[in-house]
């Protein structure tokens, strides 16, 4: 089968790889019809992780079930399903408590927790930027879609990761109706956090970035755009909130934060987040920070350390939540918001490409070329 294969830093190609197949009685085999390129793929694409050359990316997947193992009873051949990016068993200590993001069974390395398709340090699983994908524990890891699944495919594929992740950022921050919310990053995750805050009834949502195409999308959904190459975002947010700072803040950039001049500053958004949120406000950090970053500019950052102003955070009595999103906690509700016509996250899709054009998609999404907000690949054409 054809798949997007990582070759080395900033290099992917579409190649023939061994067919995905049922390997365990509880597996399901899915023919992929939509699979997104994610900001998280870029950490690996840029060579900042231990992701092995020859492996396939792709953790935001939707498709049709074509085969089920003998231990699968609920999911049937022909079902159209969207797959949480987390691969989880459903019965370990963490899954049992809803933390499918830190499943202990699917992660073979005892010092780690959590598994995902096509992801560094998250188990040996292949990604779905391919014609077919093996889904372990298929009954648990497939979310079935209804009759509108083809018509709304671009909406539903966002339920694999970025819509729940944006929602999770607002849950971690504790967004409540009427709240003022600041969001750092107007990439797909930041836009989904803004969209989630708006759905939850936030009074004012401010989105910080410096790419005008992405900021325009933030305005399109009813948020206030803040271009940090033109204004100081902390001052801007304070001006908008009677000097107090926003009630809640979401970090949707991660350790690849840059200043508007293009210099990498992994701590910039975290410290600005604390600065621009009020005393006792809530912070949700879903932007990725890794324990190791071989591609970072200095030694500390290579060890995953950022200069976080903990004193300011403590002094303000804020609370912070962080980490991977447990997609299964939200995916049914978000699917049903889409089905009910209450949400349409596909507004951020800028490009739909056949699998063969994945290298172009990666290059332009990585360099944040104007207008390349979210790329969806269609392996089945």
The contact set with ligand NAD (CB under 6 A) reads 38-40, 42, 161-162, 165, 184-190, 208-211, 214, 228, 252-254, 257-258, 268-269, 286-288, 324-325, 368
Instruction: Report yes or no: 108 and 101 within 8 Å, Cβ to Cβ.
Output: no
Minimum Å gap between C-beta 227 and ligand NAD is 10
User: What contacts 264, CB < 8 A, 6 or more positions away?
Assistant: 256, 257, 258, 296, 297, 301
Which residue stretch of 36-44, 116-124, 203-211, 365-373 sits at the interface with Zn ion (rule: CB under 5 A)? 36-44
Please state at what angle helix 188-199 crosses helix 162-173, rounded to 10 degrees. 60
Reference 13, options 373, 380, 361; nearest CA is 361
Shortest distance (Å) from residue 146 CB to ligand NAD:
25
Name the closest residue to Zn ion (Cβ): 38
Element (H, E) at 248: strand 246-251
The C-alpha atoms of residue 369 and residue 213 are separated, in whole angstroms, by: 9
Work out the number of other CB atoms within 10 angstroms of the CB of residue 69. Answer: 20
Answer with the entry of ligand NAD, Zn ion, none that 225 interacts with (C-beta below 5 to 8 A by kind): none
The DSSP string of 123-146 is: -SPPPSSBSEEEESSHHHH-EE--
Q: Out of Zn ion, ligand NAD, none, which partner does residue 254 contact, by CB within 5 to 8 A per kind?
A: ligand NAD
Residue 269: which of ligand NAD, Zn ion, none does it interact with, CB under 5 to 8 A by kind? ligand NAD
Segment 155-174, which members bind Zn ion (CB under 5 A)? 161
Q: How far is the CB of 215 from ligand NAD (least distance, A)?
A: 9
Rule CB under 5 A: choose which of 4, 38, 106, 285 binds Zn ion. 38
Q: Which is nearer to Zn ion, 191 or 224 (CB)?
A: 191
CA atoms of 114 and 324, how far apart (whole Å) = 9
Q: Give the helix/strand (H/E) hosting 218.
A: helix 212-220
Least spacing, CB of residue 294 vs ligand NAD, in Å: 16
324 contacts Zn ion (rule: CB under 5 A) = no
The footprint of Zn ion (CB under 5 A) covers 38, 40, 60, 161
């Amino acid at each position: 089968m054809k798949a997007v294969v990582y070759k080395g830093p900033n290099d992917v190609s579409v190649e023939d790889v061994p067919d995905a197949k049922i390997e365990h009685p509880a597996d399901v085999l899915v023919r992929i019809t939509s699979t997104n390129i994610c900001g998280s793929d870029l950490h690996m694409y840029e060579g900042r992780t231990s992701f092995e050359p020859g492996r396939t990316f792709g953790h935001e997947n939707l498709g049709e079930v074509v085969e089920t193992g003998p231990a699968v009873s609920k999911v049937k051949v022909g079902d159209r399903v969207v797959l949480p990016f987390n691969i989880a068993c459903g019965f370990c200590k963490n899954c049992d408590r809803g933390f499918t993001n830190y499943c202990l069974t699917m992660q073979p390395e005892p010092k780690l927790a959590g598994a995902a398709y096509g992801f560094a340090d998250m188990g040996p699983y292949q990604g779905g930027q391919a014609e077919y994908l093996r889904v372990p524990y298929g009954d648990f890891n497939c979310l079935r879609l209804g009759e509108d699944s083809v018509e709304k495919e671009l909406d539903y594929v966002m339920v694999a990761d970025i819509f729940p992740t944006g929602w999770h950022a607002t849950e971690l921050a504790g967004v409540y109706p009427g709240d003022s919310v600041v969001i750092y990053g107007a990439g797909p995750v930041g836009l989904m956090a803004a969209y989630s805050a708006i759905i939850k009834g936030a009074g004012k949502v401010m989105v910080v970035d410096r790419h005008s195409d992405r900021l325009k999308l933030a305005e399109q959904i009813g948020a206030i755009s803040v271009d940090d190459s033109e204004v100081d975002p902390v001052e801007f947010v304070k001006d908008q909130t009677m000097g107090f700072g926003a009630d809640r803040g979401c970090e949707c950039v991660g350790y690849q934060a840059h200043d508007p001049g293009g210099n990498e500053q992994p701590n910039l958004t975290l410290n600005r987040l604390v600065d621009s949120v009020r005393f006792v406000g809530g912070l949700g950090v879903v932007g990725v920070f890794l324990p190791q970053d071989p591609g970072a500019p200095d030694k500390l950052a290579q060890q995953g350390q950022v200069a976080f102003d903990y004193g300011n955070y403590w002094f303000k009595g804020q609370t912070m939540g962080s980490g991977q999103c447990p997609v299964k906690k939200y995916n049914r509700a978000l699917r049903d918001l889409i089905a009910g016509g209450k949400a349409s996250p596909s507004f951020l899709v800028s490009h739909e490409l056949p699998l063969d054009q994945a290298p172009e998609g990666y290059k332009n999404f990585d360099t944040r070329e104007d207008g390349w907000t979210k790329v969806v690949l269609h392996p089945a054409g």
